[in-house]
Amino acid sequence: MEIYLDNSATTKPYLPVVKLMVYNMKNFFGNPSSLHAKGIMAEKLIKKAKNQISEVLRCSPNELFFTSGGTESNNLAIQGIVRANRGKHILSTQIEHPATLNTLKYLESIGYEIEVISVDSDGVVVLEEIENKIKEDTVLVTVMHANNEIGTIEPILKIAKLIRRINSNTYFHVDACQSYCKIPFTVDELGCDLLSISSHKIHGPKGVGCLYVRGGTRVSPIIFGGGQQKDLRPGTENVVSISAFGLASEISGKNMLESSKKMRNLNNLLRKHILKNIDNVFINTPLKNFVPHILNVSFKGVKSQVLLNHLDKEFIYVSSGAACSSRKNKPSYVLGSIGLSPDLIESSIRFSLSVFTTIEEIERTILCLTKLVPKLRRIGEL
């Protein structure tokens, strides 16, 4: 039995999504910019996907722009805002996704002032720092909704209200790739101007994402082409994947409460039995305000890569950190930001669940961990 517990990195597509992609690839291959019947049919698929996603976010379909994924959505939001608006000061946090942090590094290299807000031991943004650091020329604040390594949910609405009170000209971008269809929210409930989401985190295909841009928000394109998507994100749309993203959103949105409850129960079971059956373990995911699918654990005295390799031999697939940086063998800056010691960072494993995860899979994972961790500690002492 294979046990896939790396759903924060990517998810298994729903079967109806796969079937839809095959069907649409065979039958709706027209260019949506073409004026003939094939093009019009393709355009209708894009409109349907926008309606499906806007139903979840409770926004206008006209406020949605398709991209190649969360990374491009973050880049378009951040670079698009600073290109279109005055102000050289940007605020973000210590624990953002590399798609955000590396974009900010680039902007800093060309003259923008980047300030980073710290987080507490649970990974929650220190609101007082945001309040103290917003300035007259702060053009953007960008904060992720749920952290991809430890699962912490940030107080996004409180941040939005702070921004509005101090500088109403400052835009607010939220990376919601790990929270979309995992926990219920609307764009108005978050109070953001821009929001990034990604298909492959919700059982859709890879290579497609979406950026919500609130009406009236000034954003400049970062690539240029044939005028598609109101010139903001030009290029021939990936109709097949966009349509599949729409269906994945519809399925995930309708089942969100039930799926979230199931994942949270399994997450709590995993947490409880790891603490009960294994000594010297530290749970890095907070007890409250975390997304239901993520549990980050440090098994002191066992290097994460060693444990990961042994679990892999048992056909249990987990992560030693964010997928975007796990191959680089660098210590997790997220875990460092919440105050973990180097040895606990080196021994951390991220378990991330999905709607497909079963109680039998969690029980087998617990059994394997109970056997492996003490064994690997003994080997390490030799």
Active site residues: 324
Counting runs of H as helices and runs of E as strands, what totals does the chain give? 13, 12
> To which residue do tokens 């929270």 refer?
179
Contact 303, 273 (CB under 8 A): no
Q: Write out the H or E segment, with its range, that includes residue 282.
A: strand 281-283
Q: Which amino acid is at 229?
A: Q
How far is Cα 28 from Cα 18, in angstroms, rounded to an integer?
Answer: 15
Q: Are strands 281-283 and 209-213 parallel, antiparallel or unpaired?
A: unpaired
Place of tokens 């507490």: 120
Question: Residue 173: enclosing H or E segment and its boundaries?
Answer: strand 171-175
Q: Tell me, what amino acid is at 211?
A: L
Instruction: Answer yes or no: are the C-beta atoms of 230 and 215 closer than 8 Å.
Output: no
Q: What is the SS3 assignment for 4?
A: strand
Q: Which two tokens stand for residue 108?
A: 């800093």
